[in-house]
Structure 1
Amino acid sequence: MFHFTLLAQDPQTRARRGRLETPHGTIETPIFMPVGTHGALKAMTPAQVEETQAQIILSNTYHLHLKPGEALIKKAGGLHRFMNWERPILTDSGGFQVFSLPNKKIGEDGVHFRHEGTGDEIFLGPKEAMQIQNDLGSDIMMAFDECIPYPATYDYSAKSINKTLRWAEICLQHHQRPDEQALFGIVQGSVYPDLRRQCAKQLAALGFPGYAIGGVSVGEGLELLKKVVDDTEPHMPQHKPRYLMGVGLPEDILESIERGMDMFDCVIPTRYARSATLFTRRGKIRLTNRNFRRDFFPVDPSCDCYCCTNFSRAYLHHLFNANEILSATLSAIHNVRFYLNMVAQARTAIEAGDFAAFKADFLGEYFSSGK
C-alpha cells in the first residue's frame, strides 16, 4: 500500500524526482504539502484545495487530540471522511507543538502539559502519539520526537537525540497498522553535524519507510538550514522519501530540493494570504498598499489559479480594505497554487537534468524587484 520510487536524479545537484504511492493516491515529489492544522486549510474548502492540485495535506495530532478528539474522528470513519478529503494526509506527531508550550514538563516517557482551553493536565508520549494517529487514519504518520529549540547546547542536544531514538523504537512497537499507514522517523541533532549523523544512521537502521529532518524551522535562518540539510542528507536512505519539516519560503524549498529533500510543509502560504501578502514570480506583494487600488492586472499574470484568472489586484485590494472574508479565500487559493506550481516546475527541471539553471532563473526573477 505504500511504495516510493526514485525516478530521476539531477546530474549537477542532489535534487531528486520521485513518486510516492499511498492508500489514498500517488504523490509526485518534490512536493509541497499545504497545512490544515485542525483538519481544514484556513479560508479554503476541500474542493478549492483540490483545485490548486494539492496532492497531500498535513494535519496536526496535537490540535486534533484537543479538539474534537481522535475518538470522535475515528467514529466518523477517520480523518479523510471527517473532513471530506479523499487524497493523502500526513499527520505531525504533535511534538513540535507540545515542546513549544510554556510550563511543559519533559520526562523520559513523554511530556506533561496543560490543555489550552480547560487547563486540564495532559500527557503525550510516543505510545499516545501512535494511538492518536492510528485513530485519525492518516496515510503518513510521524514518530514522536523531542524538537530541540534553537539555540541549544551540545550536551542538551546529545541527550535529546538519545531520547528521540528511544521514542522512535517505541513508536514502531506501538504502530498498529503499518500496512495502511506509513510511519516516518525524525532526525534531530540541532546544528551539530556529528549528532545529526548519529541520529540519521541509527534511525535508518530501524527501517522506517520514510525519514524527516526536524528542528530546522525554529529560527536558525536559511544559511544554517542549508548547513543542517547538507550535514544530514548524506546519511539518509537513498531510496526512501525525505521530508524537511516546517519549511518554508520559496527560497528555502528550492535550496532544500537542491540538497536532496522531497517533501515540505509550512503554514506560510495561507498565513501570509490572510495578511494580504501574496507570492508572485517577481517576489511578494502586499495588496493593502495604496498603489494596488487601481491595478487591474492579475496578482501574477503567469499564474493559472482561480484568483488570477478571474480577479484583479484592485479587487483584492478592495476586499482587504472592506474586511471581506473572500479576500483571505482568494489569496489563499493563489498562494497555495503558487507553491504547487513552483514544485511542479522543479520536478520538470529535474527530469530534464537542469534543476540548477531552473533554480537560478526562478530566484533571479523572484528577487528581481528588490523586495
Structure 2
Amino acid sequence: MKRHLQLKNTIMTNTSPFTLHKQSSECAARRGEVKTRQGIIQTPVFMPVGTQGTVKAVTPENLQEMNAQIILGNTYHLFIRPGHELIESFGGLHKFMNWKGSILTDSGGFQIFSLKELATITEEGAAFKSHLDGSKLFLSPEDAVHVQQSLGSDIMMCLDTCIPFPATKDETIKATDLTTRWANRCRMAHTKRDQLLFGIVQGGMYPELRREHAAALIDIGFDGYAIGGLSVGEDKHLMYDMTEETVPALPKDYPVYLMGVGTPADLVEGVYRGVDMFDCVMPTRNARNGSLFTEKGKISIKNAQYRDDHGPIDENCTCYTCRNYSRAYLRHLFHAREILSSHLNTIHNLHFYLNLMAGIRKAIEEDNFARFRKDFYSKLENE
C-alpha cells in the first residue's frame, strides 16, 4: 500500500522550464534545454561546483571561455560564511562573484549529513554546529529557501535528509517521509517564482520507495526533480540501477538532475538512463591532487614517467593548458607546490568534462548516442 502522507496540497500552476529537442531512439538519453531567468541551459549538462562562491582555482572568465553554462553554490557554506545577508546586499551571488551564467544552489542537506557528528535532525529542521567555530546554528526547510532566495540563485533545492548507506528499510522510510514533509514546507515558503525550485527524490536503495517518493513530490509540484542519496558509498551498479528505477517515475517534461555524480563514465551512464543535469567536485578536486582526465582514462601527473615528457596532458585536448604546457612542466609545478599547478590542472579537467557533455549533446542530436557510448569505453586504457 502506498504511504502517501496526508499533507496540505500545495500544487501551484507552473510551466516546466524544460524543453525536449531530441529523444534518442536507442535509449533514454535526451537532448533539451532548461530555461532560467539568467538564460538557456543546453542539456545534458555538467555543472562545475563552486561551493563557497568560487569554483576552486579558476576564475569566472576561465569558466566562460570553456563554455560552462551553470555552476553550483552551497547554502550551508554561504549561510555560515560570509552570510546570505551580506551577499544579498551586493545584489546576490551572481554580482558578488561576477558570474554571468546560471547558478544552482544546493540546500545544504548533504553537508549537514556529512557533518552528522555536529548535527541533530528533527521535524523542525537541522540544528548543527559550525565547522568553523563551533557556534550553534539552525536551518529549517523555510530557512533553506529563504537563504537561497537571498542568494538569488536561479535554481534552488529543497532541504532534504540524506540517507546513509547501508540503511534499513524502516530507517529509509522514516527519513524519506521527513524529506517529503520538508519538501512541502519548502514549496510553501517559495515566494520568488522566477527562481526555480527542485524537489529531491530520496528512498535509499529501495526501488519501490524511490518510486513512491517521486510520486509524492510530483503531487506537491516542483520546477524540476533531482535524484539524491546516491554516490554515498554504494556499488556503481547499484547506483546505476537506482537511477534507472527512478527516472521513469519522474515526469518526462521536467528536468532530471542526478546529484553529486560523478566520473566521466557516470555521466555517460546517467545520460543513457535519461538524466539531464549533473554536478560533482571530482574534476576540480582531482586536479588539485594531480589526477587528470584524458580520453584514455586518468593519469597521475606526479608520476616519474612524466619528468621529461614534452607532450600535453591529452594530445586530442584543445584546452588552454594542453595548448601551452607540457606534462613535464605540470609535474614540476605539482611537486614544487606552486599555485599555478592547481589552476592549470583544473582548467584541463573542467574542459574535459564540459567537452564530454558537448560531445554527448551532439551524439544525441544525431541519434547515435549508443555508438558514442561504445567509442567512449573503447578508448579507455587507464581505468
Shorter-chain TM-score: which interval? over 0.9
Structure 1 Cα separation of the partners of residues 281 and 371 of structure 2: 28
Structure 2 Cα separation of the partners of residues 370 and 342 of structure 1: 17
Counterpart selection for 2:214 from 195, 200, 212: 200
Does the C-alpha gap of structure 1 residues 42 and 305 become closer, same or farther in structure 2, counting only changes over 3 Å?
same
- Check the 8 A contact 2:16/2:253 in 1, yes or no: no
User: Which residue in the other structure is 2:120 paired with?
Assistant: 105
Runs of 5+ unmatched residues, structure 1: none
Structure 2 Cα separation of the partners of residues 135 and 199 of structure 1: 28
Is 1:348 the counterpart of 2:362? The answer is yes
Deviation at 1:118, TM superposition (A): 2.2
Amino acid at match of 2:200: I
User: Which residue in the other structure is 1:251 paired with?
Assistant: 265
Deviation at 1:3, TM superposition (A): 2.3
Is 1:56 the counterpart of 2:70? The answer is yes
User: Which residue in the other structure is 2:134 paired with?
Assistant: 119
Deviations 1:108-127 (A, max 9, x none): 11111111122121111201
Is 1:189 the counterpart of 2:200? The answer is no
How many residue pairs match? The answer is: 368
- Check the 8 A contact 1:32/1:263 in 2, yes or no: yes
Is 1:24 the counterpart of 2:70? The answer is no
Q: Which moved more, 1:213-222 or 1:132-141?
A: 213-222
Deviation at 1:175, TM superposition (A): 1.0
- Check the 8 A contact 2:16/2:254 in 1, yes or no: no
User: Which residue in the other structure is 2:302 paired with?
Assistant: 288
Structure 1 Cα separation of the partners of residues 88 and 235 of structure 2: 39
Query: Does the residue aligned with 1:196 lie in a helix, a strand or coil?
Result: helix
Query: Does the residue aligned with 2:328 lie in a helix, a strand or coil?
Result: helix
Deviations 1:123-144 (A, max 9, x none): 1120110110000000000001
Counterpart selection for 2:47 from 33, 41, 61: 33
Deviations 1:47-96 (A, max 9, x none): 11111110000010000000000000000110000000010000000000
User: Which residue in the other structure is 1:155 paired with?
Assistant: 170
Deviation at 1:293, TM superposition (A): 1.1
Deviation at 1:103, TM superposition (A): 3.6
Q: Which moved more, 1:72-81 or 1:313-322?
A: 313-322
Counterpart selection for 2:281 from 252, 260, 267: 267
Amino acid at match of 1:235: A
User: Which residue in the other structure is 2:11 paired with?
Assistant: none
Structure 1 Cα separation of the partners of residues 337 and 179 of structure 2: 45
TM-score (norm. length: structure 2): 0.94
Deviations 1:17-74 (A, max 9, x none): 0111111121100000000000001111111111111000001000000000000000
Deviation at 1:279, TM superposition (A): 0.2
Q: Percent identity?
A: 52
- Check the 8 A contact 1:2/1:23 in 2, yes or no: no
User: Which residue in the other structure is 1:277 paired with?
Assistant: 291
Does the C-alpha gap of structure 1 residues 130 and 166 become closer, same or farther in structure 2, counting only changes over 3 Å?
same
Structure 2 Cα separation of the partners of residues 175 and 74 of structure 1: 17
TM-score (norm. length: structure 1): 0.97
Deviation at 1:204, TM superposition (A): 1.2
Runs of 4+ in 1 over 3 A off after TM superposition: none
Structure 1 Cα separation of the partners of residues 332 and 120 of structure 2: 47
- Check the 8 A contact 1:2/1:182 in 2, yes or no: no
Structure 2 Cα separation of the partners of residues 347 and 117 of structure 1: 41
User: Which residue in the other structure is 1:301 paired with?
Assistant: 315
Deviation at 1:328, TM superposition (A): 0.5
Is 1:65 the counterpart of 2:79? The answer is yes
Q: Which moved more, 1:354-363 or 1:68-77?
A: 354-363
- Check the 8 A contact 1:31/1:262 in 2, yes or no: yes
Amino acid at match of 1:165: T
Query: Does the residue aligned with 2:354 lie in a helix, a strand or coil?
Result: helix
Deviations 1:263-303 (A, max 9, x none): 00000001000011000001000011011111111111111
Structure 2 Cα separation of the partners of residues 26 and 92 of structure 1: 20
Is 1:336 the counterpart of 2:338? The answer is no
User: Which residue in the other structure is 2:153 paired with?
Assistant: 138
Structure 1 Cα separation of the partners of residues 140 and 300 of structure 2: 41
Deviations 1:206-245 (A, max 9, x none): 2211000000021113101111011111110101000000
- Check the 8 A contact 1:143/1:184 in 2, yes or no: yes
Structure 2 Cα separation of the partners of residues 229 and 93 of structure 1: 21
Amino acid at match of 1:332: T
Amino acid at match of 2:361: R
Deviation at 1:370, TM superposition (A): 4.1
Deviation at 1:317, TM superposition (A): 0.9
User: Which residue in the other structure is 1:237 paired with?
Assistant: 251
- Check the 8 A contact 2:169/2:206 in 1, yes or no: yes
Structure 2 Cα separation of the partners of residues 269 and 160 of structure 1: 31
